[in-house]
Structure 1
């Protein structure tokens, strides 16, 4: 009997030792799920070819799209370009390297062709889209089969997928017409649980229990407009993200030693220091220090940087107005004419990948240079300013602290200014504290958030938690949109925005999606300051943007459908936006 027991023990040990590594098992499940995605997409194609009813085609579309949700965590993580072709936004994209406009493709394009009703006259175009989808899925299948995962990458991908569900999954980003976001989010959450399960040997594992609760909540609360996003994030998604983070620590799986916009150590999106301004700055020598911040603040408030010593950065960016000026557009240097665009807030703009309304620069340092050297804004010269500053003792001391062993120069000026602006990023508003369970919301504020991230569709462009256009969960790209903003005469504003840079027709009247942080303090609104109140802004969106106002905006990226918000809902939406103040 003893020998028999030892034999069984030996076999058990050998069996355990021959089990493939956890990350290999994850890879195997991923490949199986991709195969099922291919099958379900082929069935969708067959439904279209055989002229099935709209209901049957829509049902199979939902099945296929949810199959994508089962691979999304790793598809988006490892193969983002392929993923964009499979499930990217249904709007054209400009390829900056060769100046080409790429037409959209994938599930979101197909969704527009199937909902609310399929028109059989579009059958040929639909089959073409499905053929392209098939080709992209073959690409996905091949590269997934030849890609090696590691435990660290698996947990990083799962973490980012949970963040994607919070920021895009439940907000209707990739199901804007069918409004299947909540059922899709349930499948995506369950897929994370399935991949995670390979790292768990305990049926009572806390993380798995949280997954069950989260998927059960999504299952039983699946109405898009009625879904309580605040409740889901606070009581299900955030605890689940924290549990995943802790499990990784328990398994001694290291964090990546990388500087990212969203820190690799952030357990949730709503931690006070989840985002790192350095991850958006671009270059090691741009690194922010307390000494640079102090110097930058001095320079920001000093007119020495302007051509005639009459204007400083603070002349147009008042701290009590969240670093705006309260004007429709700022006064030019000559004191007579006005600038073309509204003065943007400098609060929390560090968490962006492009700057100015037309996205013409990529770093805060370049933004500082552009403003200082613009003849209508400050009409200065950084090299000349450096010479003047060298004569000032207080700056000599401050520069030596900020840039030891370096002379006072143009680089130091722009880097110090950018460092100060980066320091103005402070996510500690009532909204942030609410999401961290530190304080409550009123019923109206909570309703407002649920509208913001749901029916009102704000969060599909102003992504939470940053509420700007920097795309989660990697936060490596800032978007611009065509809204059809009118001028004061009610006609389409003549400012062509990003088009002036790219000459791409899709960018005509396109402007960067700004942060909504401190929005209650930064009136008037829009790139031209045309709206004086938040009520006017909400009314503009509620009507469907420029098209809803009857303007000709053929390339409008904002959905032109009316939101049908009630007066009570409009008030709630504004009440939520006021919780974004952090000064």
Structure 2
């Protein structure tokens, strides 16, 4: 994948919150009651470094692939036991240790391609059976890993980490396991995700064992229940001898989600989680709670948060052609609520009625839960998206000035803007126009599909084929490693501040060996890594939003699944050196494809479509 790095207010505040946590757990913070937790942690940190050194020595001594792979697996198994505090206290180090194995394109001052480092890069080298390992490059990356571990160790040695920080960091690690670990996000090539999930649970169990006896030495019922669930999950994973036998849906629903609930109810009771802006609600017991993700975290300023007056005004404008240059088109012309806010065609007709726009109209349902917008991720906030659409000569072919002139002349709009922004003497402004439409779109939230109900405990919502489809989604079909739970889009959990983009090699038609000519993000980021890359879209309501892909040429989910099963564009014969989608076939059977599609159809939520307000 390609991470199109966009700096948002959320990312900034999360960084500040991390620094505050860092400072607050310094020498003036309360020392942990159970120093055994930190003793065990530092031991696991040393063990990670030891196996990284062993891997380095094996490489220097010319060891074969089997030995290198074994050393690697052991090193990252230990890393998974320290991940919870690395990610919480040292997120900068976490990226160097185990960040994605593809380049990150930064655009803050100038276009800069940051090459990947860490365990995932090492994995991509030593588990690639088709290409010989570059010894010098591999040794340098391993050396960087060892140095990063040393930096983190020095940082931890200077801190007197508080109990609260440890307990909060475990909560986020359970969320990370729920979305990333469960899908082998960072263990696809090694095939060791079940063992790595076990390491994560083992680290949680180690912490729970220490804190569960901190109240007079007697474990409370909540702790007992949690310990039992943790031990059960570890025992289940002990029996998994191959990732191909790993029932991820079962593990998620029977162990990870219950442990998350119990951790919140027991370990975090009374700790006060609301300590800074975050996309995850402080009241979320699991990552799948109905209101677990706070849409306000994707908004730049609290003054821009939606309210009923803004939403009603935004709704009126959404359906009013007054905003378009020739007054013939509204937002709803291409985003029809009866078609899940799409228009059902490959590409919408341009406003002149003759040509077509450049890309397929995506759904607006849940569009507010994204840290970047448009297929090429060119804007961070929805307000900016409104302006781009308004000014686009093929879409609305208008301008803010023209729109404001028309709205100012309308008595009803003057009244509604006044109610939406009562403190402003002149409420009809460009930004307010952007904000009210964005507020309406942000109200189009649908987190009530049968899949959501199933993950919240109603096990009758999915039948056996659909549950098997969920397991395929998380595992063999590799869907969840790009379309992350719980949003099923490319917002990377658990902080959701970056939008993932992929190069999958979309062809001009489903069976073609010619790549679609749209260069995607490359048009604004002219570096080789960005060629033909596109932001990962949501799969929620996918059963209602055909046709698919940015070019709209894939008419059915069957065509989409066949494309991925073949290995994307590369599997169709497109020579695409920068393809980020694995080129090897998934080898899904006909029955598995049917089950996967059955699951995807259950991501449909008609709450909005059936609500006359919208």
Shorter-chain TM band? over 0.9
Match of 1:382 in 2: 400
Tell me the alpha carbon deviations over residues 244-266 of structure 1, each in whole angstroms, 9 at most, x when there is no partner: 0011453x211124332221221
User: Cα offset for 1:43?
Assistant: 1.4
- The answer to whether structure 1 residue 309 and structure 2 residue 364 are counterparts is no
Q: CA deviation at 1:401?
A: 2.2
* Separation in structure 2 between the aligned mates of residue 421 and residue 152 of structure 1, nearest angstrom: 37
Shift of 1:20: 5.3
How do 1:133-172 and structure 2 match up within 5 A? Answer: 133-172=145-184
Out of 21-30 and 167-176, give the one that drifted further. 21-30
> Match of 2:88?
77
CA deviations 1:200-220 (Å, max 9, x no partner) are 114562222221112112222
Shift of 1:221: 3.1
Corresponding position of 1:174: 186
Paired residue for 2:25? none
- The reply on whether 1:444 has 2:465 as its aligned counterpart is yes
Inter-partner Cα distance in structure 2 for 1:116 and 1:480:
23
Alignment partner, residue 207 of structure 1: 226
SS of match in other structure, 1:225:
helix
Map Cα deviations across residues 160-192 of structure 1 (whole Å, 9 max, x no partner): 111111211121111111110010000011112
| 5+ long unaligned stretches in structure 1 | 1-18
| Alpha-carbon separation, structure 2, partners of 1:20 and 1:257 | 19
| SS at structure 1 position matched to 2:549 | coil
In structure 2, C-alpha distance between the alignment counterparts of 1:386 and 1:315, rounded to whole Å: 21
CA distance in structure 2 between the partners assigned to 1:266 and 1:22 by the alignment: 26
Alignment of 1:22-101 (within 5 A): 22=33, 25-97=36-108, 98-101=110-113
Classify 1:300/1:118 alpha carbon distance in 2 versus 1 (closer, same or farther; 3 Å).
Answer: closer
Correspondence for 1:228 = 247
Instruction: Pick one of 398, 418, 423 that aligns with 2:443.
Output: 423
State the 1:545 CA deviation: 0.6
Q: 1:345 aligns with which of 354, 360, 363?
A: 363
1:24 CA drift (Å)? 5.3
Tell me if structure 1 keeps the 8 A contact 2:515–2:569.
yes
CA contact (8 A) 1:535 1:574 kept: yes
Partner of 1:432: 452
Question: C-alpha deviations, 1:91-126, integer Å up to 9, x for none?
Answer: 122232342222222111211222265977633332
Counterpart among 476, 482, 490 of residue 461 in structure 1: 482
Q: Does 1:556 align with 2:568?
A: no
Retained in 1: the 8 A contact 2:336–2:343? yes
Structure 1 match to 2:286: 268
1:496-511 map, 5 Å: 496-511=519-534
The number of residues matched between the two structures is 564
1:107 aligns with 2:119: yes
Asked if structure 2 preserves the Cα contact closer than 8 Å seen for 1:259 and 1:278, the reply is no
- State how far apart, in whole Å, the 2-side matches of 1:322 and 1:234 are: 29
Q: Cα distance, 1:417 vs. partner?
A: 0.5
* 1:502 aligned counterpart, secondary structure: coil
- Residue 414 of structure 1 is aligned with which of 425, 434, 447? 434
Checking the alignment, whether the CA contact within 8 Å between 1:434 and 1:441 is kept in structure 2 is yes
User: Which SS does the other structure have where 1:554 is aligned?
Assistant: coil
Bigger drift between 62-71 and 112-121 goes to: 112-121
Q: Deviations over 1:241-289 (max 9, x none)?
A: 0110011453x21112433222122111111111111011121221111
* TM-score, reference length from structure 2: 0.89
| Greater mean deviation of Cα atoms: 229-238 or 520-529 | 229-238
> SS where residue 427 of structure 1 aligns?
coil
Deviation of 1:147 (Å): 3.6
User: Hey, what does 1:519 align to over in structure 2?
Assistant: 542
Counterpart for residue 5 of structure 1: none
The offset of 1:25, in angstroms, is 4.8
TM-score under structure 1 normalisation? 0.93
Q: Spell out, residue by residue over 1:42-69, the C-alpha distance to the aligned partner (whole angstroms, 9 max, x if none).
A: 1122222223343332222111110110
The reply to whether residue 327 of structure 1 matches residue 345 of structure 2 is: yes
1:186 aligns with 2:181: no
CA contact (8 A) 2:343 2:361 kept: yes
Q: Secondary structure of the residue that 1:479 maps to in structure 2?
A: strand
Report which stretch shifted further, 443-452 or 261-270: 261-270
Deviations 1:522-554 (A, max 9, x none): 111101112111101000000001111111211
Query: In the superposition, relative to structure 1, how do residues 378 and 197 fare at CA in structure 2: closer, same or farther (>3 Å)?
Result: same
Q: Which residue of 2 aligns with 1:9?
A: none
Give how far 1:148 is off: 4.3
Tell me the equivalent position of 1:529: 552
Q: Distance in 2 between matches of 1:459 and 1:225?
A: 16
Q: CA deviation at 1:199?
A: 1.8
Alpha carbons of 1:118 and 1:128: their partners in 2 closer, same or farther (altered >3 Å)?
Answer: farther
Contact 1:484 1:545 in 2 (8 A): yes
Q: CA RMSD in A?
A: 1.8
In 2: Cα distance, 1:380 partner to 1:285 partner: 27
* 2:383 alignment counterpart: 365
For residue 405 of structure 1, report the CA deviation from its aligned partner. Answer: 2.7
Q: CA deviation at 1:306?
A: 0.9
1:570-581 equivalences under 5 Å are 570-581=593-604
Q: Is the 8 A contact 2:99 2:116 kept in 1?
A: yes
Larger Rg: 1
How far 1:515 moved relative to its partner?
0.3
Separation in structure 2 between the aligned mates of residue 339 and residue 349 of structure 1, nearest angstrom: 20
Kindly indicate whether residue 263 of structure 2 is the aligned counterpart of residue 244 of structure 1.
Answer: yes
Over 3 Å counting, the alpha-carbon distance change for 1:411 and 1:100 in structure 2 is: closer
